[in-house]
Amino acid sequence: MRRFFGYGPALLVMLTVCVALLAAPTALRKVQISQLSAQVSLARASLQTAGALQENDDEYRLIAQSVMPGVVHIEASGGGRSFRQSSGSGWIWDEQGHIITNSHVVGNSSNVRVELSDGRIRTARLLGNDPATDIAVLKIDPGPGVIPLERATNLPLHVGEQVFAFGSPFGIKFSMSRGIVSGLGRSEAASFVNMQQGYTNFIQTDAAMNPGNSGGPIVNTRGQVVGMAAAIANNFPEFRRRISEDDLARIRDEETRNIINDLVRSLNEQPRGQSAGIGFAIPLETIESVVSQLIQTPDEPVLRGFLGVQMVADPTGRMMRQLGYEGGGVLISSVPDERPAARAGIRPNDIVLSIDQRPTPTSDVLRSIVSVIEPGREVPIVIWRDGEEMSLRVRIGAAVLRNGNPDYLPGSEMLSMDEIRRAAR
């Protein structure tokens, strides 16, 4: 007789193993789900207590509350014999109702409306305009709710510091974005706002800026203005579509005329490119120098500091090495007689390293720094000559722009501001 009872224990073991293999994944999943639930509960409980991120949010919210009431949205139209309509941003300068924006936002518009952060609409007057620095000043009636922004006057700005951009990107009013200072002393923005002949020394930031941000304030972590949005880098060419009022008048059919008018306005309002993480802002020191003059003497030309040198726009490394120097600096090609630089002892082939304790890596930066120094002020200038650094003192002269070029006022470095203004008329 065959014996089968000997296989019983083996079958029992096999059955147990199979059950275990089938049940193990389910049990493991339950353990994993239990652990995940515990992690979620712990994370949520931890987020209820104030941490670094929550503290950051609190600070950002305070910045928004501090700055937003001083930001405005601008709508501009009219301006001579050509059709023009544009929109942008601006910010309140003082309690007297002066508002700062970009020159390219308002141009010579005859109709300008300003919307305050609480929704009130004010009619604004174009008080002054300086296309060379892309700065314009508007004026509205003072009164309650006209809250000026604080300014970071004389506070240094460094690469890596956080900044916040306010404005109306794509017409979305009173928006805020965050980024850092990506670079200083940039002149590349000139090509984006048609300022090739202007004074350029821009702040570069990666804070999101789009069409409509122009004229809006850039502030630091204290909510103080450090600059004003002016341009963004993108791969769309800058363009404007215009039609003259005379052309419209020749169209006799009113309905057709209105359709064309609306079409042109729509084309003008279309955004030209978008943020690529490279935005440019006009530094506060340039703004303060120009705005104070546009407010105090709006009918007179803007006075600019003047050094009186001819510069090599883009010297090669070989040219600099031949003079025994490697690094950033401005190579002087000639020094006309009877100018501030000549009187200070600056010579051809000198390399300007800094002026007024500000580095001058390029000719554009040197030109822009000098332009905002008050005429008559004596400042230090560091140069490279004959293999070594030298420090000189130069008294800055004054110039006004005529036909796009600085026109030096002879002897202005020795005159008072009132005397300089009389000479400039």
Q: What is the pLDDT of residues 292-313, one digit of tens each?
A: 999 998 889 999 999 999 998 7
pLDDT average, residue stretch 201-208: 92
pLDDT average, residue stretch 231-242: 54
Task: Specify the pairing of strand 111-115 against strand 121-130.
Answer: antiparallel
Enclosing H/E stretch for 73: strand 71-77
Long-range contacts of 374-379 (CB under 8 A, 24+ apart): 374/289, 374/305, 374/417, 375/303, 375/305, 375/306, 375/412, 375/413, 375/415, 375/417, 375/420, 376/412, 376/413, 376/414, 376/415, 376/416, 376/417, 376/420, 379/355
Q: What is the value of pTM for the model shown?
A: 0.78
Higher-pLDDT residue of 251 and 75 is 75
For the cut 80, the answer to whether the pLDDT of residue 259 exceeds it is no
For the cut 60, the answer to whether the pLDDT of residue 177 exceeds it is yes
For the cut 70, the answer to whether the pLDDT of residue 202 exceeds it is yes
pLDDT average, residue stretch 258-275: 55
Residue 88 pLDDT class (50, 70, 90 cuts): very high
CB 265 within 8 A of CB 257: no
Residue 173 pLDDT class (50, 70, 90 cuts): very high
Higher-pLDDT residue of 14 and 83 is 14
H/E/C letters for each residue in 375-421?
CCCEEEEEEEECCEEEEEEEECEEEEEECCEEEECCCHHHCCHHHHH
pLDDT average, residue stretch 90-114: 93
CA distance 130 to 116: 24
The pLDDT of residue 12 is 66
For the cut 60, the answer to whether the pLDDT of residue 195 exceeds it is no
**Which is nearest to 370 in space by CA: 318, 413, 415, 419?**
413
pLDDT average, residue stretch 59-83: 87
Q: What dihedral angle (degrees, nearest 10) is formed by the CA atoms of 187, 396, 327, 363?
A: 30
Kindly report which listed range (9-13, 336-340, 391-395) carries the lowest average pLDDT score.
9-13
pLDDT average, residue stretch 121-138: 93
**Which is nearest to 291 in space by CA: 115, 127, 76, 86?**
127
The pLDDT of residue 271 is 45
For the cut 50, the answer to whether the pLDDT of residue 404 exceeds it is yes
For 77, 110, 111, 257, the CA distances from 249, given in Å and listed in that order, are: 18, 19, 20, 8
For the cut 60, the answer to whether the pLDDT of residue 266 exceeds it is no
The pLDDT of residue 56 is 86
**Which is nearest to 230 in space by CA: 268, 274, 192?**
192
For the cut 50, the answer to whether the pLDDT of residue 415 exceeds it is yes
Highest mean pLDDT among 186-195, 205-214, 240-249: 205-214
CB 213 within 8 A of CB 167: yes
CA distance 66 to 48: 26
The pLDDT of residue 160 is 94
CA distance 166 to 343: 45
The pLDDT of residue 395 is 96
For the cut 50, the answer to whether the pLDDT of residue 238 exceeds it is no
Return mean pLDDT, the chain: 84
For the cut 90, the answer to whether the pLDDT of residue 65 exceeds it is yes
Residue 401 pLDDT class (50, 70, 90 cuts): confident
pLDDT average, residue stretch 394-403: 91
Catalogue all structural domains in the chain, each as residue range(s) with its CATH number.
66-139 (2.40.10.10), 162-288 (2.40.10.10), 300-424 (2.30.42.10)
Residue 241 pLDDT class (50, 70, 90 cuts): very low
- pLDDT, one tens digit per residue, over 324-361 is 888 889 999 999 999 999 999 999 999 999 999 999 98
Angle between helices 284-296 and 363-371 (to 10 degrees): 40
pLDDT average, residue stretch 263-282: 64
CA distance 302 to 58: 42
pLDDT average, residue stretch 398-402: 91
